[in-house]
Structure 1
Amino acid sequence: MATLYDLLGVSDDASDADIKRAYRRAAMKAHPDRNMGREASAHAQFQEIKEAYAILSDPTQRSVYDAVYAEEMVRLAREQEEEARLQEVARQEAYARHVCVAMRFAEQGYNRDVVFGALLAGDCETQLAGHIADGALALHLSRQADNAMPRDAREPDEAMQASTSHSVGDEESQKADDRRHANLLSAIWHGMFGLHP
């Protein structure tokens, strides 16, 4: 956003003498008589320069302008921060959608090329699509390997506990096993996809 200071080509802490010099220089450069063939645009620019000088050369008007300008800059900065925050939220939501698509295709048994293609079809960037496809397939394969492993081989201590405990102990043991399994999957998930709880 161009300011009155920008129109004259000075900084916002310029002295009155600097503003006067800058005005004369800018007015001579933009004067319609010096801009043959583009008199209309030169006249408009010349008027803007005159108005800028009228405000900045008057101490009262200049202080009001500076206060309003500072307030506007704060407002614009807040708007930009909010816009950046909303863009980040949208980016994270899109990332989560892409991961869900990749996991769904991986769990249906599709190979990397199909998972990668599905991500590209969903407007995922190429490099990110490759990263997510690799991670989703690796996670799916680790789940399959974990499920294919006999229960005794997965948790040898639990197998011993199960043989000595009653049905209530079996239920608690199963819950503990489910928690460990969920924690492992969560750790793998966050490690591969960079998501944090």
Structure 2
Amino acid sequence: MATLYDLLGVSDDASDADIKRAYRRAAMKAHPDRNMGREAAAHAQFQEIKEAYAILSDPAQRSVYDAVYAKEMGRMSREREEEARLQEAARQEAYARHVSVAMRFAEQGYNRDVVFGALLASDCDSRLAGRIADGAIALHLSRQADSAAPRNAGAPEEAVPPSSSHGAGDEESQKSDDRRHANLFSAIWHGMFGLHP
């Protein structure tokens, strides 16, 4: 926000003599007679400079202006701080939401690319989505390793006898997984590009 001091080109602690010199310099530069071809704009600027000088050259008016200006600057500073705080809170909330999405997909057994795609579909920045997807997959794998270690530590694995019914179940399970991956990919694709079947 430009102030009266900015208009004259002086600091807010300028002396009366500095303000007078700055006014003369600015008035000569902005005078309409010295700005052929842009008289209207020069006249408006010249009027602003005259008004600024009228206020800043009068000690009573200047002190009122300084008080109002200081109050306004304080208010603007508080507004900026509040806006920054709200933006940071929104950023942290979005990050937590993205991590939650990534962990949900990772825990369902999806690979890193699917987790990454799900994050992109939820409006996550691609670099952040990559970092979150890597972290979610790594965390999920470490949890799996931790949960598998105590269970298998004392007991030998039982051999599963081969049987035709077991093989058929594996095949059906694989088909179910394939359908689930295809449906997820389709949902992500449609979510990202707005296409609907």
Tell me the TM-score normalized by structure 2.
Answer: 0.74
1:11 is displaced (CA, Å) by: 0.4
Report the AA paired with residue 7 of structure 1.
L
Q: Which residues of structure 2 form unaligned runs of 5+? A: 155-197
Match of 1:11 in 2: 11
Residues 122-131 or 90-99, more deviating: 122-131
1:82 is displaced (CA, Å) by: 0.5
> Which secondary structure state, in structure 2, belongs to the residue aligned with residue 149 of structure 1?
helix
Report the AA paired with residue 132 of structure 2.
I
> Which secondary structure state, in structure 2, belongs to the residue aligned with residue 109 of structure 1?
coil
**In 2: Cα distance, 1:37 partner to 1:123 partner:** 51
Report the AA paired with residue 24 of structure 1.
R
* Deviations 1:72-129, CA, capped at 9 Å, x for gaps: 1111111111111101100000000000110111112211111112212222222211
Match of 1:50 in 2: 50
**In 1: Cα distance, 2:21 partner to 2:123 partner:** 54
Match of 2:92 in 1: 92
Matches within 5 A, 1:120-139: 120-139=120-139
Report the AA paired with residue 10 of structure 1.
V
Structure 2 residue 78 is the aligned partner of structure 1 residue 78: yes
1:36 is displaced (CA, Å) by: 1.2
Match of 2:62 in 1: 62
Match of 2:117 in 1: 117
Match of 2:145 in 1: 145
RMSD of equivalent CA atoms: 1.4
* Deviations 1:15-51, CA, capped at 9 Å, x for gaps: 1111011001101111111111111111111110000
**In 2: Cα distance, 1:91 partner to 1:152 partner:** 42
Match of 1:34 in 2: 34
**What fraction of aligned residue pairs are identical, expressed as a percent?**
88
**In 1: Cα distance, 2:11 partner to 2:62 partner:** 13
**In 2: Cα distance, 1:15 partner to 1:147 partner:** 75
Size of the aligned set, in residue pairs, is 154
Tell me the TM-score normalized by structure 1.
Answer: 0.74
